[in-house]
Structure 1
Amino acid sequence: MYKTIIVHVDASPTMESRLRAAALLADAHDAHVVGAAATGLSLPAFKILAGSVPVGPGNDFNSLCTRARTHLARFAETARRLGIGSFEERLVEDDDRSGLLLQARYADLLITSQDSADMLTVRGLPQYLALHGARPVLSVPPTYASEPIEDNIVVGWDGSVPAIRAIAAALPLLKRATVVRLALVNPERETGLHGDEPGADMALYLARHGVRVEVVSERTDAPVGEALLGIARAAGAGLLVTGAFGHSRLREIVLGGVTRILLERAPVPVLFAH
């Protein structure tokens, strides 16, 4: 079960959708929610910067802390309104990426918003945290409005190590689901990773953990990310689980990438691990 959940706190209006997901999971798992807001710079980094450029009124480090505390106050107000029973506000004197990576070491799950061009969010944050962090990342779309997450889950399975880690990280959710669809897209292209019957071994592994699982195999010319989105929509899934960057980063960039497609377009929360 998830007992400590970190939620990224910032000025973006998408923070409420993150907190809705956190509230749902906290209630289901009796978890403690930590709202983490970063100043944007560590104090040593700020001193170096302040020594090299003029620092005007309102741009001192205390102002950065005050701004972060304002975001935390909004987090606390929203957490109370959503009925989160156990939560705390945490000021992180660092940039968002480094600060959240450190905080996530001591949690079970890290929740961020889906990647977007919103000027109030840090671009590329969820994929950075999934790639460099030790904990799974739940990326929440801005339209999320407390729909069930754990009832109906699609798991992208390609035999890769990141996919294995994502499945292991998602087990507390998978065990509670009414149905889990283990989705394979063009499995014949990864014959060395699947065995004689693609999906059968992982399905058996999940079944032994008490997961109600069925294997869905799709052959398509569409990008894998788009295929997974199609399977999730058709199934009415409330959550996608997948490995982050199952292939090399260069291949992900050149081919468009499953991770990037899901991070930018998924209509439901996506749990990533690397």
Structure 2
Amino acid sequence: MYKTIVVHVDDKPQMRSRLAVAAGLATRYEAHLVGSAVTGISRGNYLLLGTSPMAALPDSDFDRLVEHGQAQLTAFTREVERLGIASWEQRLIEDDAGHALLLEARYADLIVVSRAAPTRLHLGASLPEFVALHGTRPVLVVPEDYPGDAAGGTVVVAWNGSMEATRAVTGALPLLRSARAVKVALINPDETDGLYGEQPGADLATWLARHGVEVEVVCERSEVGAAPALLGLAREIGADLLVAGAYGHSRYREWIAGGATRDLLAGTTMPLLLAH
């Protein structure tokens, strides 16, 4: 069960949809909601930059970063009070968003972020990629224009028998238990040997049934790749959540050349739960 949910707080337009979903989940599971804002840099690193003759950064500039983060949290407070969230808190961390959320993830059940552009700070990875890859908890990625607060009514689980997919399914269990319908999707399962058991998807369905989750296993053939097939299936059945393992292949290959994880992030119109 999700009892602590962390939502990334900033002043970008995506904040509204991200917070709506996080707040909806907090209400559904009676969870504590943590709003996490950042300064963008730690005070220690800022001071180190300021010791350089080329930089000469005034202390007042860091104070403005703190004030900016506090203003974001003030807006967060107004919104959670309007939404009537029973249990919540706000935190300002002196770091960049990626490393701040990695810290928060140690003591949370779910991290909620928005889809974002890659940043040079994280070696070309977007914030969702960075936190999913290096963090200890599942990451729920909310599209920037996602309407409403629903997530997890109808769910598509991307299953390929990998360690990453297993962790994603485990991290999504509270959502799967409360879902109206769950489809376990296997794309081209005949191309992978030794990961599924005797009948592809059957063992996962049995395991989920023991957790109170009834599923339908769907095996599909696709010539265009796993991500387009999964997104197509999710749209076809009106899913409002897609669950998938992140970076089953080399993360460096996916960062440079792209791959299923990035294709899912780029193409999804519904919340996407990732775990590595």
Give the match's secondary structure for 2:70.
helix
Q: Deviations over 1:51-74 (max 9, x none)?
A: 111225852x21111110011111
Choose from 219, 225, 228 the match for 1:226: 228
Partner in structure 1 of residue 8 of structure 2: 8
What is the CA–CA distance in structure 2 between the aligned matches of 1:234 and 1:87, rounded to whole Å? Answer: 36
Pairing 1:158–2:154 present: no
Letter in 1 for 2:178: R
Given that 1:149 and 1:239 are in contact with CA atoms closer than 8 Å, whether structure 2 keeps it comes out as: yes
Partner in structure 2 of residue 94 of structure 1: 95
Given that 1:42 and 1:93 are in contact with CA atoms closer than 8 Å, whether structure 2 keeps it comes out as: yes
Choose from 112, 123, 131 the match for 2:133: 131
Partner in structure 2 of residue 82 of structure 1: 83
Query: How does the TM-score come out when normalised to structure 2?
Result: 0.93
What is the CA–CA distance in structure 2 between the aligned matches of 1:5 and 1:31, rounded to whole Å? Answer: 7
Q: Deviations over 1:92-130 (max 9, x none)?
A: 011111111001110100000012379xxx960001000
Given that 1:181 and 1:213 are in contact with CA atoms closer than 8 Å, whether structure 2 keeps it comes out as: yes
Partner in structure 2 of residue 247 of structure 1: 249
Given that 1:240 and 1:270 are in contact with CA atoms closer than 8 Å, whether structure 2 keeps it comes out as: yes
Query: How does the TM-score come out when normalised to structure 1?
Result: 0.94
What is the CA–CA distance in structure 2 between the aligned matches of 1:141 and 1:83, rounded to whole Å? Answer: 23
Quickly say closer, same or farther: Cα 1:51–1:253, change in 2 above 3 A.
closer
Partner in structure 2 of residue 69 of structure 1: 70
Q: Deviations over 1:63-87 (max 9, x none)?
A: 1111100111111112222232221
What is the CA–CA distance in structure 1 between the aligned matches of 2:178 and 2:190, rounded to whole Å? Answer: 30
Q: Which runs of 5+ in 1 are unaligned?
A: none
Given that 1:178 and 1:212 are in contact with CA atoms closer than 8 Å, whether structure 2 keeps it comes out as: no
What is the CA–CA distance in structure 1 between the aligned matches of 2:236 and 2:196, rounded to whole Å? Answer: 24
What is the CA–CA distance in structure 1 between the aligned matches of 2:44 and 2:258, rounded to whole Å? Answer: 38
Partner in structure 2 of residue 175 of structure 1: 177
Letter in 2 for 1:142: E
What is the CA–CA distance in structure 1 between the aligned matches of 2:257 and 2:113, rounded to whole Å? Answer: 25
Letter in 2 for 1:9: V
Letter in 2 for 1:40: G
Letter in 2 for 1:129: V
By how many angstroms is 1:150 displaced?
2.1
Give the match's secondary structure for 1:89.
strand
What is the CA–CA distance in structure 2 between the aligned matches of 1:250 and 1:49, rounded to whole Å? Answer: 29
Quickly say closer, same or farther: Cα 1:254–1:62, change in 2 above 3 A.
closer
Partner in structure 1 of residue 263 of structure 2: 261
Quickly say closer, same or farther: Cα 1:227–1:73, change in 2 above 3 A.
same
Letter in 2 for 1:28: R
What is the CA–CA distance in structure 1 between the aligned matches of 2:37 and 2:136, rounded to whole Å? Answer: 19
Quickly say closer, same or farther: Cα 1:65–1:123, change in 2 above 3 A.
farther
What is the CA–CA distance in structure 1 between the aligned matches of 2:126 and 2:250, rounded to whole Å? Answer: 17
How many residues align structurally?
270
Given that 1:92 and 1:99 are in contact with CA atoms closer than 8 Å, whether structure 2 keeps it comes out as: yes
Letter in 1 for 2:15: M
Partner in structure 2 of residue 195 of structure 1: 197
Give the match's secondary structure for 2:172.
helix
Letter in 1 for 2:63: N
Pairing 1:204–2:206 present: yes
Given that 2:17 and 2:149 are in contact with CA atoms closer than 8 Å, whether structure 1 keeps it comes out as: no
By how many angstroms is 1:196 displaced?
2.1
Given that 2:118 and 2:127 are in contact with CA atoms closer than 8 Å, whether structure 1 keeps it comes out as: no
Partner in structure 1 of residue 27 of structure 2: 27
Given that 2:112 and 2:139 are in contact with CA atoms closer than 8 Å, whether structure 1 keeps it comes out as: yes
By how many angstroms is 1:147 displaced?
4.8
By how many angstroms is 1:250 displaced?
4.0
Q: Deviations over 1:226-256 (max 9, x none)?
A: 1110010011101000101112224434663
What is the CA–CA distance in structure 2 between the aligned matches of 1:33 and 1:148, rounded to whole Å? Answer: 16
Deviates more, 1:87-96 or 1:129-138: 87-96
What is the CA–CA distance in structure 1 between the aligned matches of 2:267 and 2:81, rounded to whole Å? Answer: 30
What is the CA–CA distance in structure 2 between the aligned matches of 1:34 and 1:57, rounded to whole Å? Answer: 29
